[in-house]
Structure 1
Amino acid sequence: MTKKQLMIETTSVIVSVAFIAAAFILTQLLGQETWYVILLFGLSFLFGGYAKAKEGVLATIENKSLNVEILMILAALGAFIVGNYSEGAILIIIFSISGVLESYATSKSEKALTSLLKLAPKTALLYKDGVESEVEISNIKVGDQVIVKVGQQVPVDGKIIKGSTALNQAAITGEFVPVYKEAEDSVYAGSINIESTIIVETVKDPKESVVQKIIDFVENAQENQTKSQSLINKVEKYYVYIVILIAITFMILPPLVGWLSWDDAFYRGIIVLVVGSPCALVASITPAMLSALSNAAHHRILIKGGSHLEDMIGLKTVVFDKTGTITTGVPKVIRIETLESVDREQVLKILYTLEKQSDHPLAKAVVDHLGSDYLLDHIKTNEISGRGMEAIINNSTWQIGRFESTVHDEMKEKIDKCSLLGHSIVSIIKDQKVVGFVALMDTLRENTLSVMNTLRSQGIRTILLTGDNENTASAIAKEAGVDSYEANCFPDDKVSRVKKLQKEYGKVMMIGDGINDAPALAIADISAAMGTGTDVSLETADIVFMNDRLENLPKIIKLSKRMRIITLQNVVFSTGVIFVLMISNVFGLIQLPAGVVAHETSTILVILNSLRLLFK
């Protein structure tokens, strides 16, 4: 429901309340219901019931079946027919008020979710032939250049071709610490430029950008129903007819057997239409689902529909990819070793100077670790594809990487030890002899060990599947605290392993981030991707951790359990209220006003109970 529709419905209810209040005041003053008092009740009925009647009629035409709204309108009309004008008007007004409250509650539940729909800017400053012009995002093509000034949102996924700045990527990742970006660095649509003007070249169609995919996922998530929700919607269609049949039976059968008069029987039948209506039951699932999805979105967890959250119940095994999932994918220097016979300071300077000229991730890690104080001037380097860096310095050939060489026994022992620990080795070679090496290792994501311990305490098995070698896989698995691991896995190996785990243990969740994870993500019962993952993994996964935090996993498991508990509470409570009110009506223990208040109050309580999922 749009804000305008909600405002119109709210205004109609307020006008309806004014008419009914005036009618009651006149009744008290006059001591009777005159024709103009009845007219006021009728106007209250029309204003208060119009929106719900229209909604019910349109839904009936569309679905070709009666619904709750039609049931309540019939009950109110019945009350008017038997001369209970005030009670009919009260029924409609309370039903309309509960409907407005439900709309406001749903709107609040959707707020965090729909806020993601505002991530992408609508226009961009196109820069062409030295001239800038404002254009619609839809008109931007791959290769186009756009200007992003301070305070503006980056309009496209692209790379910086001129300038440098700090970007606030909180809208995409949830991380509020600005990220420094310079020429050739990638930037995402939706990020905010906070330092200086940059020119960005578009590398992806705006319709395919990360932020647009997020928007598409959100829109689909709101339409995706849980299994429980679908079941209740199916039951509602038949239940409405059952209630109408019971009401008609109540109106006809008791007078025929001499139990009630025709007037009393008709009145009791109207009460059946009111108290038997499944308003609270229908409202048991949707507000809870939307509240849970909004809670997750607030924590930068995008769940593509309530059904995926419901699927988390009964999870037995979680399978993790390594690089980019339980590790950051950014290598870190663990140690640098050199022979005692060489000048270590000079070796480090040569190491830094050669690696400075390489774009390889391992080289960048070495450069970041050493710092610029080690730079040598006027050194000509050569990069050998698949091998590393090479240079002639003081008539000696220096090589950094993987080249043909001999290894001193002293150095070989240290290299073997680091290899067993799963470290990546970059050799430092002088004239085909290894004089030192750098040991690097992928770093674990923060809180990885605590996440594994939490899952283990919940009886969930954790498994690492990686394409890395045995030593690296073993070292990472031990540090991460997973229950078991498998190394040297190709994409089809991961698929086979997930299928095997499903047969052995039951429901399996897969978490990954790369193209090679997509097949396993698709075959798992439920899947999650890290927000900085590839397009394929983001599209395949049921859940996206937009902030790349692994601790999101225990959060959504807990959230899924809370959603299940609250929806069960709602269903049990709503059906219990209907049962008690129906039995009370059989024995004549309840009047129409009391039935209306009890029934609609139960609906409001169910909605408020669901809103608890917005918090924690």
Structure 2
Amino acid sequence: MIETIKTNKELRLQTLNVVLALILMVIAKLIETQFKTASIILWGLAFLIGGFFKAVEGLQATVENKALNVEILMLLAALAAFLTRDFQEGAILIFIFAVSGVLETYANTKSEKALTSLLELAPQTAIMMINDEEVEVDVEQLRIDDVVIVKVGQQIPVDGVIVQGATSINEAAITGEFVPVYKAEHDGVYAGTLNLDSTILVKIIKDAKDSTMQKIVDFVREAQASQTQSQSFVDRFEKVYVYGVIVMALLVMFVPYFMKWLPFDQSFYKGVIVLVVGSPCAVVASITPAILSSLSYGANHGILIKGGSHFDQIRFTNTVVFDKTGTITTGKPEVVDFVMSATIDREWLLHTVVNIERDSSHPLARAIVNHYKDVPPLTLMTSEVSGAGMASDVQGHHIQVGKFDYEDAHGLGEAQQTFLMQGMSLVDVIIDGKLVGFIALQDTVRHDATEVVKALNAMHMETVLLSGDRINSVETIAKQTHIQAVHAECLPECKVDYIKELKDKGHHVMMLGDGINDAPALAHANVGVAMGDATDVSLETADVVFINNKLTNVLSLVKLSKKAHRIITQNLVFSISVIAYLLISNLFVDLRLTHGVIAHEGSTILVILNSLRLLRD
């Protein structure tokens, strides 16, 4: 917020200076025939006032980076114009340069405002029940496990879980989706979202500084601070190019004079024009505003891109790898049947298995616990085996729930095959190495999965379904959604190996996932994408997060990246063409400094405006 206030203040001061400079220039022009000395003084004041911010910016950058920059080029050109008594042209040069600076600051402010507007949605106070009275307290005073009251029409002050009541929540501030979402007890809610229907009690699970909304803003600011390959190249190019322009300007100033081709005043004037029109202002401004606008647009539409370098990679994607559960499917499977050996105590096994699964975050485990929510709790010591499931020692027996190897199918093999042929997922129950039962679950495909996959296929991208589930279940989902290739029964290390294999074959891989076991694969993909319901590990590992959990964001992400690249290319081609045209024109025709300034700085303004188109849909 402080950074935003600072940026807004800078924008206001820069705008004020530009307006004052314009007023002085108009007055100087009006009185130049009758009051020449006063007119020169006014041109000088316009020069000093209009160029103040750019002069400070250029000098600071030169000292910090120990290298000249475009601001210094402009100052040298303007000073040279004043030395040749071209006061009007020197002032106009600085004025137009200052206008482009204001516009660039405006572009940065607009991108920042798009982010801080999210934070402004979160209320600064909350209502707590203290001594049977409703008391309004500052959000910063709230602690984890406190319970707050959120009434109809109020915004939720912190991330939490509903502990009493049910309502519809407008989550547009987080997800960009304006369709209300129904929330009941045990459902999570986000700070800044709006309670629509009825009063709820919310238990706090995160401090205000760690809220999802704050994380979104922090991630995007971090992303905006990072550079794409194009930005890094332009920065290096600028440092070298500036010296080249100075050398070229000196040659144009003095060579024609010493060769007796032109009088000194004309050759010097042409050298000043080289300083102006040869400056890479528009080239430098071609990339950063476009990247900032893209990242801000994404954040406001449920797509959190964590870095400009990651954003740069998206347009090269030719292979999209989907995890199955929670990505292509809803991740909310339903229990179809619990098949057990006839020799086992059904009630005891059900009670034990459900309580073992309570400690797992896997979607299948959550579905089992939710389906058997009336099973009474039991305190057990459990452990999670990555890529396999949960295990616990109970009453002298080692019980495994998930997908483990076993010695004896206990006569359940045929029943397993029946469910597997229907594409269902099975959670095995193994006691002391012997299969004693299994739970059959059916997951549902996301309503937009087929549409997304078909669109990717039409874009000539290879689509792959990667899952730890059995081959029958994975192939059924792949066929239903038109995914081209399948890789099933993968442990986390197997997923990583498969991603590496694809990359070694020349594929540029985007991986989408949501679970702990997806995190290593997300990290190894060229672009790792985590769904909004992903575990914290996956969210931290991924390069992109779909906050609104919409699979169609894949298409939006690819289109946004390609559009940004197209606009950056347009900017670079246009700006370089203008510079080349002006430099050549200056050599062969009598180009006026004013015309060169207008054309050169006009191109800078145009590329910035072109980049701002990315803030719109």
With the length of structure 1 as denominator, give the TM-score of the two structures. 0.82
Task: Supply the AA of the counterpart residue of 2:149.
Answer: I
For 1:155, the aligned partner's letter is: P
Contact between 1:333 and 1:441, CA under 8 Å: does it hold in 2? yes
| Equivalent residue in structure 1 for 2:20, among 15, 19, 26 | 15
Q: 1:521 Cα deviation (Å)?
A: 0.8
Q: 5+ residue gaps in structure 2?
A: 1-5, 339-353, 359-364, 383-408, 429-437
Secondary structure in structure 1 of the residue aligned to 2:26: helix
Pairwise CA distance, 1:22: 0.7
- Offset at 1:79? 0.7
Q: Does 1:464 align with 2:465?
A: yes
* Within-5 A mapping of 1:438-477: 440-477=441-478
Q: Decide which of 118, 132, 145 is 1:116's aligned counterpart.
A: 118
| Partners of 2:159 and 2:190 within 8 A in 1 | yes
Q: Match for residue 42 of structure 2?
A: 40
Q: Deviations over 1:205-252 (max 9, x none)?
A: 444332232121121122122110111011111211221222122222
* Alpha-carbon displacement from aligned partner over 1:233-277 (angstroms, at most 9, x marks no partner): 111112112212221222222222212222112211111111111
- Correspondent of 1:50 among 44, 49, 52: 52
**Whole-angstrom distance in 2 between the partners of 1:2 and 1:134:** 32
The answer (yes or no) to whether the contact 2:530–2:539 under 8 Å persists in 1 is yes
1:257 is aligned to: 259
Counterpart CA distance in 2 for 1:381 and 1:38 is 90
Assess if the C-alpha contact under 8 Å between 1:116 and 1:218 holds in 2: no
Residue of structure 2 in register with 1:508 after alignment:
509
1:65 equivalenced with 2:70 (yes/no): no
Counterpart mapping for 1:381-460 below 5 A: 417-424=418-425, 440-460=441-461
Aligned-partner Cα distance in 1 for 2:166–2:570: 54
Over residues 174-223 of structure 1, what are the superposed CA-to-partner deviations in whole Å (9 max), with x where a residue is unaligned?
33233333333332223222233333222234443322321211211221
Residue 103 of structure 1 corresponds to 105
Is the contact made by 1:142 and 1:202 (CA closer than 8 Å) also made in structure 2? yes
Query: Matches of 1:245 and 1:497 in 2, distance apart?
Result: 53
1:469 Cα deviation (Å)? 1.6
- Give the Cα–Cα distance (whole angstroms) in 2 for the partners of residues 254 and 275 of structure 1: 19
Which residue identity does 1:19 align to in structure 2?
A: L
Alpha-carbon offset, residue 559 of structure 1: 1.8
Counterpart of 2:604 in structure 1 is: 603
Contact 1:522–1:541 (8 Å) recurs in 2: yes
Alignment-derived partner of residue 3 in structure 1: 8
| Secondary structure of residue in 2 paired with 1:511 | strand
Change (3 A) 1:86 1:542: same
Shift of 1:112: 3.5
Distance 2:46 2:460 in 1: 57
Post-superposition offset of 1:45: 0.9
Asked if 2 retains the 8 angstrom alpha-carbon contact of 1:79 and 1:88, the reply is yes
Q: Distance in 1 between matches of 2:140 and 2:257?
A: 69
Distance 1:364 1:417 in 2: 24
Match of 1:580 in 2: 581
The answer on whether the counterparts of 2:169 and 2:194 sit within 8 Å (CA) in structure 1 is: yes
Alignment deviations for residues 19-68 of structure 1 (CA, whole Å, 9 cap, x no partner): 1011111125x2xx611010111111112111211211222222222211
* Counterpart residue type for residue 4 of structure 1: K
SS in 2 for 1:459: coil
What's 2:398 paired with? none
Instruction: Map 1:423-572 to 2 at 5 A.
Output: 423-424=424-425, 440-572=441-573
- Residue number in structure 1 paired with 2:155: 153
- Equivalents in 1 of 2:10, 2:26: separation in Å? 24
Distance in 1, Cα, partners of 2:214 & 2:105:
27
Q: Does structure 1 conserve the Cα–Cα contact (< 8 Å) formed by 2:216 and 2:299?
A: no
Q: CA deviation at 1:514?
A: 1.1
Residues 1:190 and 1:536: Cα distance change in structure 2 (over 3 Å): farther
Tell me what 1:288 maps to.
Answer: 290
TM superposition shift of 1:500: 0.9
**Letter in structure 2 aligned against 1:557:** V
Partner of 1:168: 170
Q: 1:366 to 1:133 in 2, by over 3 A?
A: closer
Letter in 1 for 2:253: M
Moved over 6 A (4+): 333-336, 363-368, 380-386, 404-407
Aligned to 2:434: none
Secondary structure of the equivalent of 2:314?
A: coil
Aligned mates of 2:426, 2:582 — CA distance in 1: 75
1:374 alignment partner in structure 2? none
Deviations 1:426-479 (A, max 9, x none): 99xxxxxxxxx9975211112211211222222221111112122211211211
1:330 aligns with 2:332: yes
CA distance in 2, matches of 1:36, 1:109: 42
**Structure 1 pair 612–166 and aligned structure 2 pair: CA distance change class (3 A):** closer
Q: Distance in 2 between matches of 1:76 and 1:17?
A: 16
Q: What CA distance in whole angstroms lies between the structure 1 residues aligned with 2:216 and 2:471?
A: 36
Q: 1:290 to 1:72 in 2, by over 3 A?
A: same
CA distance in 2, matches of 1:518, 1:120: 30
Rounded to whole Å, the distance in 2 between the matches of 1:515 and 1:362 is 17
The residue type equivalent to 2:150 in the other structure is V
Question: Does the C-alpha gap of structure 1 residues 426 and 488 become closer, same or farther in structure 2, counting only changes over 3 Å?
Answer: closer
What is the CA-CA distance between 1:296 and the residue it aligns to? 2.2
Q: Which of 223, 231, 234 matches 1:232?
A: 234
Is the counterpart of residue 27 in structure 1 residue 29 in structure 2?
no
In the alignment, the residues of structure 1 paired with residue 11 and residue 493 of structure 2 have an alpha-carbon distance, to the nearest angstrom, of: 51
Cα contact 1:113–1:293 (8 A) shared by 2: no
Distance 1:248 1:53, change over 3 A: same
> Aligned AA for 1:596?
V
CA distance, structure 2, for counterparts of residue 113 and residue 454 of structure 1: 30
Cα distance in structure 2, aligned partners of 1:383 and 1:36: 90
2:211 is matched by which residue type in structure 1?
Answer: S
- Stretch moving more, 278-287 or 553-562: 553-562
566-575 or 75-84, which deviates more: 566-575
Retained in 2: the 8 A contact 1:117–1:218?
no
Change (3 A) 1:112 1:314: same
Distance 1:381 1:6, change over 3 A: closer
Q: Summarize the Cα distance change of 1:312–1:206 in structure 2 as closer, same or farther, 3 Å threshold.
A: same
Unmatched segments (≥5 aa) in structure 1: 337-354, 369-379, 387-403, 428-436
Separation (CA, whole Å) in 1 of partners of 2:525 and 2:123:
35
The one-letter code sitting in structure 2 at the alignment partner of 1:457 is: A
SS at match of 1:464: strand
The separation in 1 between residues aligned to 2:556 and 2:495, in whole angstroms, is: 25
Q: Is the Cα–Cα contact under 8 Å of residues 252 and 262 in structure 1 kept in the other structure?
A: yes
1:182 to 184, 190, 194: 184
Residues 89 and 593, structure 2, Cα contact 8 Å, conserved in 1: yes
What TM-score comes out, normalization by structure 2 length? 0.82
Whose Rg is larger?
A: 1
User: Match of 2:330, SS?
Assistant: strand
| Corresponding residue SS for 2:331 | strand
Instruction: Give the whole-Å Cα distance in 1 for the aligned partners of 2:57 and 2:137.
Output: 40
Match of 1:317 among 316, 319, 329: 319
Moved more, 80-89 or 312-321: 312-321
How far 1:124 moved relative to its partner?
3.4
User: Does the residue aligned with 1:155 lie in a helix, a strand or coil?
Assistant: coil
- Is contact 1:128–1:145 with CA below 8 Å preserved after alignment? no
SS at match of 2:54: helix
Does structure 1 retain, via aligned residues, the 8 Å contact 2:419–2:440? yes
Could you tell which deviates more after superposition, 520-529 or 458-467? 458-467
Asked if residue 278 in structure 1 is aligned to residue 275 in structure 2, the reply is no
Secondary structure of residue in 2 paired with 1:560: helix
